[in-house]
Amino acid sequence: MNADRTLLTDSMWAELSPLLPGQAHCRGTTARDTRGFVEAVLWLGRTGVGWRDLPPHLGHWHRVYVRFARWRDSGVWERVAHWLVAHNRRIPHARQRQVQLGSTSIRSHQHAAAAAKKKGEQAIGRSRGGRTSKLHLSCDGAGNVLNWRLAPGQAGDCPQAAWLRAPHLAPACEVVADPAHNSDALRGLIAAAGALAVIPANPRRRHVAHFDPCAYAKRHHIEQTINKLKQHRRLATRYDKLDASFEAFVCARIWTLYLN
């Protein structure tokens, strides 16, 4: 994002526009002011305000929402985010050996409750902190997002970790995670892939696994990435009823992280 923290720079748009539908190079009708629409969605994500509070100069709120929902249902937000992960990841060679796992709890606003039953169960759970969701992430050694998944707030980290790390493990890779990921099952999956688990072990266990504190010290990169994601207020607090809508805003934020 540029100096005003909400809009796309010309260089960011030049890189992003070929990936979006409705452009001049696409078959079918050319969409009107796609850049203005994307900037409106980024503004909503940054400020966390309701759809009806969208300033008029960024577009009519209902037209912006309808187009946002159309892209959400067709998978545009997620597809572009995964493309940027695959092609725009810039990382020094020395940091290519790590996959870092982490999660963050997100408090759900009262407006996020009571989704229509026909939409299915939503990832909003009950925990000591009230109604929460949990965003699980995997990053490389430089803090670039590799994968993400949304789960209810009371869900454990280990069941999600196997799904997060799967596409990115390679022999001689280090998987760095916090003590919440300390399970024999996860360690077994990591070892089977030829990677090394860097996870603090409970010292009271009969067999304490090897732990490299120097490698674990680099885990601050994923914490910094989580902080960058939550700079968008719509990700720091969940206002969206549907998982698909919330994950679309997560993807939009990942766009800006990779385009900066």
* 68-111 tens-digit pLDDT: 999 999 999 999 999 999 887 776 555 568 889 999 999 999 88
Residues 100, 54 share a domain: no
Are 18 and 37 contacting, i.e. CB atoms less than 8 angstroms apart?
no
Element (H, E) at 131: strand 130-140
Q: What is the mean pLDDT of residues 23-27?
A: 63
Residues 202, 96 share a domain: yes
| In a domain? residue 258 | no
Domain boundary, last residue among 41, 74, 107: 74
Residues 100, 229 share a domain: yes
Residues 216, 110 share a domain: yes
Boundaries of domain holding 28: 10-74
Q: Residue 23 and residue 105: Cα distance in Å, rounded?
A: 37
Burial of 252 (0-12, 13-18, 19+ CB in 10 A): buried
Residues 100, 37 share a domain: no
| In a domain? residue 247 | no
Residues 64, 15 share a domain: yes
Token pair of 84, please? Answer: 């940027």
Residues 107, 61 share a domain: no
Residues 233, 104 share a domain: yes
Q: What is the predicted pLDDT for the residue at 3?
A: 46
Of the listed ranges 22-31, 144-153, 235-244, the least confidently predicted one is 22-31
Residues 158, 99 share a domain: yes
Which candidate, 92, 108, 188, 213, places its Cα nearest to that of 141?
A: 92
- Give the total number of structural domains in the chain: 2
Q: Residue 258 and residue 260: Cα distance in Å, rounded?
A: 6
Amino acid identity for residue 241 in this structure: K
Residue with the larger pLDDT of the pair 65 and 90: 65
Residues 125, 29 share a domain: no
